[in-house]
Structure 1
Amino acid sequence: MGLPLLGLGVGLGLSGCDGKGLNPLTPEAPKFNGVDITGAEYAKALSLTDPEGKRRSLAEFKGKVVVVFFGFTQCPDVCPTTMAELAEVRRRLGADGQRVQGVFVTVDPERDTAQVLGEYVKALDPSFIGLRGSVEEVTQAARDFKVFFQKVPSKDGKSYTMDHTAGSYVFDPQGKVRLFVRYGIGVDAWVADVQQLLKEPAAKA
């Protein structure tokens, strides 16, 4: 059912994070609602294929706040709720919403074909991008982001669902990972964090 396995991604390397910045001696450090993972040595790159067959990477979105979420289109709750909240964040930000990029990576490429994935993300927000790859490529991408997922067969064995880490990775305008946002944080908290990141300088050309 796409269970919200909170902490399975963050817990692998972020024990002790309090969401208040990594350096407690720096009073000017921004305070976020999401978990501050500034300086993390993972979630640095992502290269998969969009529904049109084009290879996409995080580097092309520098200058924007990018939100990366791993999920699957048949998820009944966590995935659509998370992406719908992000779409609402973009709406609330007005013109600044154009500088927020949602990226949905499917952990179920066997069922999430290019067509299915493309229709799914566009229905949530026309600006969102869906990414997919082979099972091996997706597994490697998830590993690079410390994201957990696994196939869970139905009781009759005729189908399956996916359990997965229920959280989003947020990158600043310079393309650096800054936050892990747990499922259920709420739109107001999302907006506050994104607004802070949008104030930071973009990457130099």
Structure 2
Amino acid sequence: MALRCIVGNLQAGEVLWCFWRPCVSLSAPLSRWPCQQTRKRFLSHGPDLKKARLKPRTRLLVSLLFGGGLLAAWWCVDSEKQQKLRLQRVEQLRKAAVGQGTFSLLDHTGRRRTKQDFLGSWVLMYFGFTHCPDICPDELEKLSAVVSALDQHPSVPPVQPIFITVDPERDDVAALARYVKDFHPRLIGLTGSVEEVKLAGRDYRVYASPGPKDEDGDYIVDHTILIYLVSPDGLFLDYYNRMKSQNQIVDSVRNHIKNYIRLP
């Protein structure tokens, strides 16, 4: 006689029952009984399904980790590359013969100023003259608007606007004081002797040439029309011509400040 088993759904609480059938010897080991083998197969079936369900999630996790590792590696390589390019750019600017010298001029309050006074600050600098009929006022208005827009960004430090005359014979301290008050409140006007002004302009490769005088003794100065960006190290970084809009200059200055590398 042998024991035949019928196994129901144990998880559902159904009954496991057996009955005798004269086909298998009672002397057979218990582990070989169909009932025991069926029960072992049934009990091992649940965990196998759970493992099978875990496999897609495991593959997804591995894929995410692998992809994240590749992305992190690419970011590190790209960051290092950009850092090297910025360092190369700084080194090139250091070797450029623009803004490498210094100046000693009088501001619109009569105070003597040198380039060292502005170290530690971002500077936007424009060369012009107070008798300029339209271009200089327009450019100084744009420069003032740029500085005001940059002031609205908490992450951007205050930018110092500077106006250096190319017409020192007419633009004395008093004339500059009257002129700069029409623009940004932080705008500093600088003047000096003819030689001092020429030296400052020559350092930034500024062209300035007075035209012929009219019957009233008035004249126009033909000069370079650029706004210069100077870093806190006193290093010339960029320039903006008349074609550059206010928003373009703001974006450029913000980008320079964001990627700024202090000189060693």
TM-score, normalization by structure 1? 0.75
Letter matched to residue 99 of structure 2: A
Cα distance change on mapping 1:101 and 1:124 into 2, 3 Å: same
2:119 to 62, 76, 97: 62
Contact 1:175 1:203 in 2 (8 A): no
Contact 2:147 2:161 in 1 (8 A): no
2:99 to 40, 43, 66: 43
For the aligned residue pairs, the C-alpha RMSD in angstroms reads 2.4
Contact 1:90 1:98 in 2 (8 A): no
Secondary structure in 1 matching 2:217:
coil
Unaligned runs of 5+ in 2: 1-79, 87-91
Contact 1:63 1:202 in 2 (8 A): no
Matched, 1:74 2:153: no
Distance, in Å, in 2 between the alignment partners of 1:92 and 1:142 is 27
Percent identity, aligned pairs only, is 35
Unaligned runs of 5+ in 1: 1-25, 31-36
Distance, in Å, in 2 between the alignment partners of 1:115 and 1:155 is 24
Number of matched pairs: 173
Per-residue deviation, 1:145: 1.6
Per-residue deviation, 1:43: 1.3
Which structure would you say has the larger Rg?
A: 2
1:98-142 CA-partner distances (Å, limit 9, x unpaired): 611111111111111211101211210110100000111111221
Matched, 1:158 2:217: yes
Letter matched to residue 143 of structure 1: R
Secondary structure in 2 matching 1:179:
strand
Name the counterpart of 2:36: none
Name the counterpart of 2:177: 118
Is 92-101 or 81-90 further displaced after alignment? 92-101
Q: Equivalences for 1:113-192 in 2 at 5 Å?
A: 113-156=172-215, 158-192=217-251
Contact 2:172 2:192 in 1 (8 A): no
Letter matched to residue 158 of structure 2: R
Name the counterpart of 1:89: 146
Contact 1:38 1:179 in 2 (8 A): no
Per-residue deviation, 1:53: 1.7
